[in-house]
Chains A and B, each alone.
Chain A
Amino acid sequence: MPVYHPPRIAASEITPREIYMSRRKFMGTAAAGLVVAGASSALAAPLAGSPSTFSTDETLTPKEAVTSYNNFYEFGTAKSDPAQNSGQFDPLPWSVKVDGLVGKPREFGMDELIKMPLEDRVYRLRCVEGWSMVIPWIGFPLAALLDQVEPLGSAKYVSFETIVRPEQMPGQTGFFQPLEWPYVEGLRLDEARHPLTILAVGLYGETLPNQNGAPIRLVVPWKYGFKSIKSIVKISLVEEQPQTTWKNSNAREYGFYSNVNPEVDHPRWSQATEQRIGEGGFFSVANRPTLKFNGYADEVASLYEGMDLKANF
């Protein structure tokens, strides 16, 4: 099997910080003109994490692409909607309620969460639609948070919930809404405790932009992107398999597990290949084979030993 060597990105191709910051400043000013309050909180603050051996050394997807090509239906269904429509969203103050089958249920403030031992995690992200990115997240293992609330022995699953804030999330208003709110997701407890599973609070050296799930989101790199729920307000430990939004929307097409798997096609399209966003161009699309568990099989395949991955898609 041929080994893929990622092309090295030339230093000259990286947008200098002052240029993208000046764009950000312009956008911020423009947003402030439209929105009375809340525009300032959309500005990112620098954030640092320590390196991690879980990071890939593949070429990063340019920040411009990571922050302009998003699925975040709370802000609209077009890929450009989240970046365009999230200027009003105010991610601070924020808190995450952790409850359910735990010994010490409590609420975590964002000031506290941002002080968790943060790590840089450069992960592949594979969307169920057939595209992928490589994103430098900053976050901490979900297990570190779960440890603090002391899950009970009866807890088998973890469920997650996104904020509902129609006044700041235009996708949650109007008569034509593609999904039910709040957006909910879930993991098996062992998946949630896996060291690859993180709660991300930043990317590209800064706090999370609104369109990427500010101020805190889940990242489960071996599952399709929709599992990595954004703007989390509630985490509950439960005994039964929790409801998940896309499965509720279409159970035939989206399963609870939704592990990246080139051998199990989506009913309507193939999952064998993926298009790497930001690579190639108009006349040279960067298609590549999709890897089982998104390339994290060594770390996570044991979680599903003996399971029929076609039936448990």
Chain B
Amino acid sequence: MPHLEITNLDAAYKSQPVLSGVSLSVEKGEVVSLIGPSGSGKSTLLRVLVGLLPPRKGTVVLDGTPVDYSDQRSLRALRDRCAIVFQQFNLFRNMDVLRNVTIAPVKIKKRDRREVEAEAEALLAKVGLGDKLRAYPSELSGGQQQRVAIARALALRPEILLLDEVTSALDPELVQEVLDIIRLLVGEGMTMLVVSHEMGFVREVSSRVALMSAGAIVEIGSPAQIFDAPKTERAKDFVAKILRAH
């Protein structure tokens, strides 16, 4: 049984369809990357998965339990197990780093504050920010903010981590420090669904790569298959374009 199974998912912004018939399954410990041109629906798929945009059609099944996006309890249970990191970090700007990381585990998951703080400090040390506990987001660089955001997501102890273009808003010299953290998580066997434009990185860490175009998955396979021997015309075309760009 797949860990996460998405079947025939449709979604729309107002009347504009943005996802049509997306099916994808993710096994435990897998890193599945979504690639494709801007506007192809990669980020939208992650937003739909965490319930920020309700799907029009289709099913999402987590460990055999279907998610009902119109039901708060079902949605909460899903969000309890899937954490997302956004392109723009979305740290709470009125809270310092430590509070950003601890507030949800303490207030929402009702865990013991001292235990959570110790864990948060360890997580922040892991992402290289052990000395920034009391800093506010505005005092940090983009790369540092994104590392806090990753620590915040990990503090929720998610089973699946969704990464939405986490390096796209960063200055080039800050990209590596964030990718290094993700490599670390890949090494620990975290299940991840990753949207990224860092093709070298995608190729390196992914178990499978899904190419999206116009709201649908056009081809899915191992990194070698997608990048070296794409089958569909759409995939060949996309890969040729990125190769030309590099």
Q: Do A and B come from one complex?
A: no
B interface residue numbers (CB < 8 A to A):
none
A interface residue numbers (CB < 8 A to B):
none
